[in-house]
Amino acid sequence: MRSALLAFGAGLLLIVACVYLVDDPLARFVHTLPWARSLRAPALGLPVLVVSAGFAILLGAFQVSTHHALKKLQEVLIVASFSLASAVCVDELVLKRLFGREMPDEFLQGGTDAFHWFQGTPFSSFPSGHATQIVSVGTVFLIAYPRQRPVWLTFMGLILIVLVLGNWHFVSDVLAGAGWGVIAGTATMVLWRSKSQLRAPREKVKDCGQDFL
């Protein structure tokens, strides 16, 4: 708990520092890059993960209803889907509406980076919804497959960098979204572990391919 609180505090300080020292100049610089606009392709903004999560939850529910034991990857996908769904709902319905920060494009047009408290929409910039999605899913896979952590960390890192270099979001937006994704993913895993331990003894859980819990 102490380590988690220290990490949370350090993350908040880093986000505040980026808001005041990094976000505006970096957004202006990225805007001058000739290839930055190509990273804003409409396809990159499609809610692919959200749609996939819905299908994963429905398929998992169907398999459970037919009394089929879930394999490890299937259960990980379901847990990741619940993590994604909860993270996105809180981000878009609560956090974005609370902070109401303008997107980098709006900042570049108006010249003023501002937070409009309690006036945001699901399309506001802070915290980044893209970062929340990828990290909430990635955190579950990091916990479930510790040997593949370098692969997942590299993949998530590249996506987060693209969000900044494409001026989808400010740096602090991405950090806040990633932080919230870690919290959502970890909390979902803890709740799922607790549920699994109540549902069956440890030996039966392993027999069902749930040894990652």
- Mind listing the pLDDT tens digit for each residue in 147-178? 888 988 998 999 899 899 988 999 999 999 99
Q: How far apart, in whole angstroms, are the C-alpha atoms of residue 178 and residue 126?
A: 11
pLDDT at 212 > cutoff 50: no
For residue 190, the tally of other CB atoms under 10 A from its CB is 11
CA-to-CA separations, 59 to 48, 55, 62, in angstroms, rounded: 17, 6, 5
Residues 190/210, Cβ–Cβ less than 8 Å = no
Q: How far apart, in whole angstroms, are the C-alpha atoms of residue 50 and residue 56?
A: 10
Residues 181/133, Cβ–Cβ less than 8 Å = yes
pLDDT at 50 > cutoff 70: no
What pLDDT, in 10s, does the model give residues 175-193?
Answer: 999 999 999 999 999 888 7
**107, burial (CB in 10 Å: exposed 0-12, middle 13-18, buried 19+):** buried
Residue spans of the domains in the chain: they are: 2-29+46-207
- Local confidence band at 47 (pLDDT 50, 70, 90 cut-offs): low
Q: What tokens were used for 192?
A: 């799922």
Report CA 200 to chain centroid distance, whole Å: 30
**100 or 36, higher pLDDT:** 100
Give the per-residue pLDDT at 203.
Answer: 46
Q: How far apart, in whole angstroms, are the C-alpha atoms of residue 81 and residue 88?
A: 11
pLDDT at 31 > cutoff 50: yes
